[in-house]
A and B are shown apart, each in its own frame.
Chain A
Amino acid sequence: MPSLGADMDAGTLVEWLVRAGDTVHRGDPMAVVDTDKSAIEVESFDDGVVEALLVEPGTRVAVGTPLARLVAVGMTVAAPEQSAAPAAASRPAPSPGQVVVPAPSPGPVVVPVGGRPGGRVSPYARRLARELGVDLDRVSGSGADGAVHAEDVLAARATTTEQVPDSPAVEEPVALESSAPPARSARSARRETIAALMSRAKREIPHYYVATTVDLHALTEWLRRTNRERSVAERIVPAAAVLKAAALAARRHPGLNGFWVDDAFVPAPEVHLGVAVHVRDGALVAPAIHRTADLSLPEVMAALRDLVSRARAGRLRRAEMADPTLTVTDLGDQGVEEVIGVIYPPQVALLGVGRVVERPWAVDGLLGVRPTVRLTLSGDHRATDGATGARFLTTLDELLQHPEEL
């Protein structure tokens, strides 16, 4: 059971997407796991054949519990206690007609795991990884003998998790944790998780709020014009443009893009905007659009649609859950004009987006009716001051006046 979030101790295996005997490749989804926050797809970290599924659907197990066993493709499954093949030099030459059996695999490959193959992880790095939801298997260590230190975890946290793991992971099976009481529904568990996270945020983070109203005339006009040339599927909604602009603004104001860890702000090198998504069963998730600022606006739009649909289908990937560096919550569709949001720890800021409303608006002394949106930045006062938040909103405003450049 992989750790799919900072506060995850255990998860429920909802559904297997593979069967024993299936060949899987690195990155293939293998199972759906319910983390109390949402259902998430768990992918394979290796190529191989599924030898055994170790956990029944519906079972709740502790983080670190092996879920399945993979063996390398083409390898004979060897008993773990069987000794490794003798070295070539000392191996007797095969007698005529005798079939040379391939060397046994070093042992079953257990996937996924929270540990690290023979590699060292500093205790602090381990703790940080747990808190930030970083999968240590995907962190390459910079220390002696590849030891993982805190900065490696932070670096991994900040980039997409596309590094290749060093080697197959083998870890002692962990005893199964007994299932949660059946009376506790997934929905209430999710609520509890959100409750805990938000309580912590309100308890620990001294929030400040700055807000502004932005004239969206230029954006809506530009969208109206450009969307005409786009198929329905490719049309861009204003929210996507706000996201892209917010990502660019975050890059320009890095003090708002990162994490508050151990009484200090750790900036994130990339902008992975979190998007608050209300799942229909009442859950709230805020998965990330990776490298938001580097994507073109149509790519942001596509990513947004993909993310929201998968969030609602319970098919988020763990990296998406773990990675946001700054979250945007857009409740305009719910009809409100202003959102004054609560920051997701350990992030240090949250952008609230309201409904696009037509308001009387004065431009150059002349009154007109313009589409406007209310943007509110919640900032962690430990990390930044209101001035930083204000400059961020000003930047955002300026960016939204030039949608063609987004």
Chain B
Amino acid sequence: MTTAPVTTTETTYREALREALREALREDDRVFLMGEDVGSYGGCFAVTLGLLEEFGPERVRDTPLSESTFVGAGIGAALGGMRPIVEIMTVNFSMLALDQILNNAATLLHMSGGQLNVPLVIRMTTGAGRQLAAQHSHSLEGWYAHIPGLKVIAPATLEDARGMLWTALQDPDPVLLFEHGSLYNMSGALATGAGHVDIQRAAVRRPGRDLTLVSYGGSLSTSMTAADELSAGGIEVEVIDLRVLRPLDDATIMESVRRTHRAVVVDEGWRSGSLAAEVSARITEQCFFELDAPVERVCSAEVPMPYAKHLEEAALPQVATVVAAARKVVS
């Protein structure tokens, strides 16, 4: 039996996202894109560049700087039979739309006794690393992961950047898609036929027997680099990419921890009340008697993200801090 060779294309995370948007706009006439500067400007991070020209202003809609209303309008349009994709420039700005996301998108289905589902996708940029300081750099996706009624996904790979959007659009409920700002320029080979992926399971990005490193989004590459370094020192790390922050895929995490007996959670959010805290708590709840060391967390320092490069770096999880945490739990 012969297998057709898999051809790949060199692409970037940004292009993969754009290709996913393009596919969605092309394949489903209910889909439209709405947000600040998604049209003429081409998107704050150039993700939507060229889509206005291709699909026109009805389907690629520039909005006023009214996060609450254009997100709420997305909810209304979803109730009205459309499949809106709303882009919010950064997660910090999404706080202006939190009323609509929390009080409407997340609650309507339940509050209406199952009558009104909201098939809405909200994309936003998250994370630090680009010296954008304290109002453009935070990782608040963990807050959204707190809210029942929402699904929260965080593509960390080219495959997921390319494939998660379509699946999110098929979901009958609101899905928040978090793109880490430092990933847009990430390049690599993507299979030519790459397409839809699930938005249910975490993925083991690297197998290992000594330690489970739980990570997602922008922290995945940090974790993978740390794993390489640890491997050179004889510590074989299993790296899990959560992919889906809500609902969390406990099974994949626990299956790994039951094998390695040790876990470190890497999360760019602040430590207190973070997603890392949730993951850690679940490991303790479900794997207490499997643990050979306390669960460690590597999170951002509890400061508003500073501008100066050296301070920003000091505030963020770095390869060295992940390595140190890993050594601590393995020693």
Contact = CB atoms under 8 A, between A and B. Distances in A.
Contact of A150 (B209, B292, B331): B292
A262 interface: yes
Contacts of A149: 292-293
B293 to A, nearest CB: 6
A262 B293 contact: no
B253 to A, nearest CB: 16
A127 interface: yes
12 contacts: A122-B261, A122-B293, A123-B288, A123-B290, A124-B291, A126-B289, A127-B290, A144-B331, A150-B261, A262-B290, A263-B259, A264-B209
A351 interface: no
Interface in A112-132: 122-127
Given A262-B258, A262-B259, A124 B331 contact: no
Nearest to B257: A124
Which residue among B258, B291, B292 has the maximum number of chain A CB atoms within 10 Å of its CB?
A: B292
Given A122-B292, A123-B288, 17 more contacts: A122-B261, A123-B289, A123-B290, A124-B289, A124-B290, A124-B291, A126-B289, A127-B289, A127-B290, A143-B331, A144-B331, A149-B292, A150-B261, A262-B258, A262-B259, A263-B259, A264-B259
A143 B293 contact: yes
Nearest to A142: B331
A178 B297 CA distance: 44
Contacts of B261: 122, 124, 150, 262
Size category, A interface: 10 to 19
Interface of B: 209, 258-259, 261, 288-293, 331
B331 A122 contact: no
Contacts of A262: 258-259, 261, 290
B291 A122 contact: yes
A149 B259 CA distance: 15
A264 B259 CA distance: 9
A155 to B, nearest CB: 13
A366 to B, nearest CB: 54
Contacts of B293: 122, 143, 149
A263 B259 CA distance: 8
A329 B289 CA distance: 34
Contacts of A126: 289
Nearest to B293: A122
A124 B292 contact: yes
Given A143-B331, A144-B331, A125 B292 contact: yes
A128 to B, nearest CB: 9
A124 B289 CA distance: 5
B290 to A, nearest CB: 5
B287 to A, nearest CB: 8
Contacts of A143: 293, 331
A139 to B, nearest CB: 13
Which residue among A124, A127, A144, A262 has the maximum number of chain B CB atoms within 10 Å of its CB?
A: A124
B136 to A, nearest CB: 39
A15 to B, nearest CB: 34
Contacts of A127: 289-290
A136 B255 CA distance: 27
Contacts of B291: 122-124
B313 to A, nearest CB: 28
Q: Which 5 A-B pairs have the closest CB atoms?
A: A124-B292, A122-B292, A127-B289, A150-B292, A123-B289
Contacts of B290: 123-124, 127, 262
A118 B288 CA distance: 20
A247 B253 CA distance: 40
A144 B329 CA distance: 10
Nearest to B288: A123
Which residue among A122, A144, A262, A264 has the maximum number of chain B CB atoms within 10 Å of its CB?
A: A122
Contacts of A144: 331
A144 B330 CA distance: 11
Contacts of B258: 262
Contacts of B292: 122-125, 149-150
Contacts of A124: 261, 289-292
Nearest to A130: B289
Nearest to B258: A262
B284 to A, nearest CB: 9
B35 to A, nearest CB: 47
A124 B291 CA distance: 5
Interface in A254-299: 262-264
A125 B290 CA distance: 8
Nearest to A127: B289
Interface in A121-167: 122-127, 143-144, 149-150
A262 B292 CA distance: 13
A149 B328 CA distance: 13
Nearest to A153: B292
A110 B293 CA distance: 28
A134 to B, nearest CB: 14
Contacts of A264: 209, 259
A304 to B, nearest CB: 37
Which residue among B258, B261, B331 has the maximum number of chain A CB atoms within 10 Å of its CB?
A: B261
Contacts of B331: 143-144
A161 to B, nearest CB: 20
Contacts of A123: 288-292
Contacts of B259: 262-264
